[in-house]
Structure 1
Amino acid sequence: MAPLKLLQLPEPLLGFGYQQRMEHPKDGLFLFGPLEDGAHPAEMRIGVIGTAAGIGHFKTWAKRIRGHIPSANPDAAHHASWPGFEAVFETRWPERPITEITVDASALANAIRIENRHEAISKAVAIFEEPIRRYLRQEEAPPTMWFVVIPEDVHRFGRPKSIVPRGERVKGDARLSRRAGKFVLEMGSLFAEEVEAAEIYRFELNFHHQLKAKLLDQKAVIQIVRETTLDPESFVDDKGRALRATQDPATIAWNLCTTAFFKSSGKPWRLADVRPGVCYVGLVFKKDGTALGGANACCGAQMFLDSGDGVVFRGAVGPWYSEADKSFHLTQAKAAELMTLIVEAYRDMHGMPPTELFIHGKARFSDDEWAGFSSAVPAETSLVGVRIRPTSELKLMRLGKTAVQRGTAYMVGERLGYLWTKGFIPRLATYPGWEVPNPLLVEIHRGEADLARVMTDVLGLTKINFNACVFADGLPVTLKFADAVGDILTAAPVGDLPPLPFRHYI
C-alpha cells in the first residue's frame, strides 16, 4: 500500500493597492485599499428603484455605510468593523443617488399575489423592469449600477415554490393556463392573442432571475436587495425582536459594498501570484424547462483571467442533458464553437492566445467534447481539463480540537487528489463551520499538468468572489457561480447575447 501523501499548500495571497499583499480581503482593503486601475471609479454612480418605503430604507443604509460601523464582536478575528466606504475603496459614495425611481407599493403587493404564479412574477418584474428600460432610453449618462430594493413580500412570493395564502390571492387576467400555454408554445396557434398570452410561460418562476435576465439586453448591472437587509432595525415584532435574522451591520456593509464597488467596474483585489497568460474556464449547464423542441438544457462558460475579471459566454440551448448518466455533455461541434468564443475573447483582450487554459467542470469530459475543445485551441496553448466536485467520501481528522487546516491536500496519485478548501484558518484563529469539513475531489481528467499546481490554483480561485468580502469560499469561483449563471441564462428567452462581464449575472 502506498504511503499517505499529505501536503499543506500555502494560503494564496491577494494583491491590493500600492502593490501590497495580504491573505484576508478585509485586511488588504483596510490597510491599502483596492487595486489601482484605470477603471477605478472616483464616485459611485448609483441608481435606486423601489417603493417609497424601500428607497427610505436604502437612504438610511447609504448614510450609515459612509461612516464607521463597529464590529459585532471585537474579540473575534472573523468580525471586523467597517471603516466607511471612502476609507475602504478610495471612492466617494454620494449623499444622493443620481436617480431615484419610486414604484407603486400597492400595485406591487397586488401583482405578486396574483393566483397564476407566472402572471404574478411577470407583472411584478415589469413594475421594476419597465421604468429602468424607460430611463435607459431617455438618459445619456445612466447609473453604472442599480440597487433594486424589494419588500419582503416580493422575496417571499417571488420564488418557484412559494405559495400565497388563499385569503391573500388576487385574481389575474391570464387567458391561458400553464398547460395550455405550454401547448401553444410547443405547437403554435393561429391566433395571435393566444401566442401573446402564452408568452409568460417562457420565463422562470423566479423574480430575481427573471428581472436580471430581462435586463441583460440593456447591459444593466443590478443588485437586488431586500429592505430587511438594508434596515433590519425597522422590521421588528411587538416585542422588539427582529422579524428576520440577518448578518450584523458591519458584515453587511463589507459584503454589499464590495459587490457594489465591483459592479461599478472597480477591482477590489486580485490573486497576487497567478502566472501570466493563464485562463480559467468554468462550464455552465442548466436544465431548461422553457426550451422548445428536443432541447433540454442551456450551456455556457465563465472565463476568469489572471486579474480576477470574469466574462460569461452564452452557448446554445440543446439536448445536452443525458438521463442515462445524469450528466451534461456537448457535441464536438458545439464544444468547438464555445471554445472559439473564449479564445477569441482572450485574444481581443491581450493580443495573443492564453498560454495555459484550464477547463473546470463537475463531470468528466466526453471524447467528443474534448475533441471539440482541443480543435479550437491554438497549438501554443496548454489545454487541461479538471474535474472538481465536493465529496463526503473521505474524512480527515487531526489531534486536538481544531478541524483540518484549510489548504490540506491528500495526493492519491499524479492526477487525482483531495483538497480541503474549508477548515481551520490560522488568520481567523477558527474554523468558520459547524461540521467536519469535506474536501473537493480534484482530478486532472484531460491534458497534462502538475496536480499540486492545479490544487494551488483551485485554492486561490476560492478567494476571488467579489459578491461578498469573505476570507474564502469552499468552491473555486469557476464553479461556485455556475448554477447562478445558469439560472439567469435560462430564466428568460434572451436570444443571442454578446459576452458580458460577470458582474451582470451575480
Structure 2
Amino acid sequence: MSSPVIEYVAEPLLEFGYGQSLDDPKQGLFLFGPLDERRPSSMRVGVVGTPAGIDLYKNWVRSITGFIPAARTEALHQVAFPGFEAVFRTPWSADPVAELPISPADISKSLRISDRHVGIFETVTLFEKAIRQKLRQDDALVDVWFIVIPEEIYILGRPQSRVPFLERRMIERRINARIARRLRSQPSLFAEDMEEAKIYAYDLDFHNQLKARLLDTKAVVQIVRDTSLSSLNGPYSPGARRLQDPATLAWNLTTTSYFKAGGRPWKLHSVRDGVCYIGIVFKQDTQDPSGTSACCGAQMFLNAGDGLVFKGALGKWQPERKEFHLSRSDASDLMKSVVEEYVAENGKAPKEIFLHSRTHFNNEEWEGFNDALPAGVAIVGVRISRSSDVKIFRPGRTPVLRGTTLKISDRKAYTWSSGFVPALKTYAGREVPNPISVEVTRGEADIIQVCRDIMGLTKINFNSCIYGDGLPVTLRFADSVGEILTAGPVGNLPPLPFRHYI
C-alpha cells in the first residue's frame, strides 16, 4: 500500500458565451453571457399565486431588469447584479404570459383543515388545478411556472407543521391515515373507500407534493416564498429572514430560472470525451404500509449539466443496515435506460460510465449494471460521502485550499471541495472545512482523475450561481429528487430533465 500523499486538484474552468472560459460563474456570465446554444428568445413565465403574490412577482422582475449593487464592494465573492438581460442576453418582461390568481381565503381555509393530509392535498389542488386548466384551455407557451406562495403555506405546509387548535377546521371522514395504510395491503370492496384513501398516498409537504403531481404535465416549476420577493424589492436589512443580500439572491434566482426555462448558463470547459456520470439515488418510501419499501432513481449528467432522472423499481429497504439495493434485473433495466438516452443525445455509446452513490453496490446490482452495457464500455462505481475523519490545517489564518486532495490509496482519497478560494480571497464556511470521502468501490480508475471529475461536477449546480458546491451535482439533488419521486404515486413517466425536480 502506498503512503498517503497530498495533491492539489486545480479549479475546473467553465465555458460561457463566445467559447470563453473562466472559473467564476458570476464573472463569466457578466463578461461573456451564457452559452449560445439553446438560449431562450425570451423568458416565457407563468405566475400562480395570490393577487398580492403576483404583484410581488411583477415588482421583483422589474427590479432585476436594472442594476443591483453588491452588499460589500470590497468582497470579491459579492458581485453586483447588472440586470437580467445584461447577464443572460434574454429579455424578461414583468408581464407574465399567464397569470393565475388564487384566493387567499381559499388557501387559508384549506390549510387549516384538521386532517393534515386532506389540508395539504386540497391546498396543492388549488395551484395544480389552476395550471392544469390553463394547459387544457390555452395554447400559451410557458417555459417555467413561478409559484408564489404566501408565508402561511411555508409555515403550515410541511410534514412537522401543526395548525393551532383554535384555527382548525374540523372535518369528518370515513377514512383517515391509519385506515388508508391498512387499505393498501387489504383493499376495500367499496370503490369510494379506495378513492378517498388516495389522498393519504401523498407526502405531507406542499413543495414536494405539488412538483410530484405536476410531473405528468411536464410543467417546470419554481416555488418561491412571497417574503423572498418582497424582501428583494425593499432595502437590504441584515435582520430580515433571508441570509443573502439582494444582488446575491438575484444571481441565484435568475440563474435557476434561466436554466429551468431551457437555457444553459455554462458548461464545463474541459471534459473527457465519452464519459457519463450517473448519480444513484435511494430514497425510502415512507408511504409504504410495511415501512420496508424504497425507491431508486438515477440522474445522468453530461458536460453541459444536462440531466435526466430515471425512476427504478420499488424494492425492499433493509432497516437494520439502513440500505437499499436493486435486484439484478432492475439494475439492468435502469442501466439500459441510461445508455439508450446517452446514445440518443450523443449518437454513440459512452466510453466510460461512473456511478456515484452514497452506498456500496452489491454483487447482484453490479452484475445487473454490466448486463446492460454495450461491448467496450467501462463502468466504475464510486462511493461519495461527507467526512469528518480527517482535518488539514495550514500555517496562517486561512483554511485548507479548495481542491486539496489527500490520496490514501489507489482507491480512496479525501477531497476538500470546500475551502479557501484564492481567486475570491475567502472561505464561505464558518468552521474548519471537512472533505468528502471518495472511494472507488467497483471497477478500475485513477483516483486522482476521479477527484478531478468530482470537482468539475461541483461547478454545475444551476440551482444557484456559486463558485463551487460542496457536493458534485450527481449527489447534490439526490435527496430532493428522491423526495419528489416518493412524494406520491407519480406513475410510469418517461425520463425527465432534472430541472423538473429542483
Q: Place the TM-score, normalised by the shorter chain, in its bin.
A: over 0.9
**Cα distance per residue 1:20-75 (max 9 Å; x no partner):** 110010010000000110x2101000000000111111111010011111111111
The answer as to 2:263 corresponding to 1:266 is yes
CA-atom RMSD in angstroms: 1.6
What's the offset of the Cα at 1:243?
5.5
Residue aligning to 2:16: 16
Identity of aligned residues (%): 50
Match of 1:314 among 308, 311, 316: 311
- Give the whole-Å Cα distance in 2 for the aligned partners of 1:455 and 1:67: 40
What are the residue-to-residue correspondences of 1:26-37 with 2, within 5 Å? 26-37=26-37
Cα shift readout 1:268-289 (whole Å, capped 9, x = no counterpart): 0001011121110000111002
Aligned residue for 1:448?
444
Matched, 1:279 2:313: no
Alignment deviations for residues 328-372 of structure 1 (CA, whole Å, 9 cap, x no partner): 211111111100000011111111111111000111110111111
Once the 2 structures are TM-superposed, how far is the Cα of residue 140 of structure 1 from its aligned partner?
Answer: 2.1
Q: Deviations over 1:287-321 (max 9, x none)?
A: 002236786101110000122111111111121x2
Shift of residue 4 of structure 1?
A: 3.7
Kept after mapping to 1: 8 A contact 2:292/2:319: no
- Kept in 1, the 8 Å contact 2:336–2:373? The answer is yes
SS in 2 for 1:73: coil
The answer for the alignment partner of 2:222 in structure 1 is 223
- When residues 226 and 183 of structure 1 are mapped into structure 2, their CA distance, relative to the original with a 3 A threshold, is same
Out of 278, 285, 291, the residue aligned to residue 288 of structure 1 is 285
* 1:58 match: 57
| One of 336, 339, 360 as aligned partner of 1:340 | 336
Any residues of structure 2 matched to 1:35-184 within 5 Å, and which?
35-37=35-37, 39-184=38-183
Q: Does residue 391 of the first structure (1) align with residue 387 of the second (2)?
A: yes
For residue 487 of structure 1, what is the aligned residue in structure 2?
483
Cα deviation for residue 120 of structure 1 reads: 0.8
Aligned partner of 2:454 among 438, 458, 466:
458
Cα displacement (A) at 1:142: 2.5
Matched, 1:304 2:301: yes
Please give the alpha-carbon distance, in whole angstroms, between the structure 1 residues aligned to 2:315 and 2:136. Answer: 34
Q: How far does the alpha carbon of each residue in 1:453-498 deviate from its partner, in whole angstroms, 9 at most, with x for none?
A: 1000001100000000001110000001001000000001011010
Task: Give the counterpart letter for 2:251 in structure 1.
Answer: W
**1:181 to partner: Cα distance:** 1.8
Q: Which residue of 2 aligns with 1:25?
A: 25
1:423-438, aligned counterparts within 5 Å?
Answer: 423-438=419-434
Among 471, 474, 480, the residue aligned to 1:475: 471
Between stretches 177-186 and 450-459, larger displacement belongs to: 177-186
- Runs of 4+ aligned structure 1 residues displaced above 4 Å come to 233-236, 240-243, 292-295
TM-score (norm 1): 0.96
Question: Could you state the TM-score of these two structures normalised by the residue count of structure 2?
Answer: 0.97
Gaps of 5+ in 1: none
Q: What is the aligned length?
A: 501
> Which residue is 2:5 aligned to?
5
Name the SS for the 2:72 alignment partner: coil
Q: Is the 8 A contact 2:60 2:233 kept in 1?
A: no
CA separation of 1:486 and 1:192: change in aligned 2, threshold 3 A: same
CA distance in 1 between counterparts of 2:71 and 2:171 reads 46
Distance in structure 2 (CA, Å) of the matches to 1:377 and 1:323 = 31
Task: Confirm or deny: 8 A CA contact 1:276 1:306 kept in the other structure.
Answer: no
Q: Note closer, same or farther for the CA distance 1:124–1:487 as it changes in structure 2 (3 Å cut).
A: same
Counterpart of 1:190 in structure 2 is: 189
The C-alpha deviation readout for 1:120-168, integer Å capped at 9, x for no partner, is 1100000000010011111223301100000000011111111112222
- Cα deviation, 1:164-209, whole Å, max 9, x if unaligned, reads 1222222235432211121123211122221122111100000000
Determine if contact 1:119/1:172 at 8 Å carries over to the other structure: no
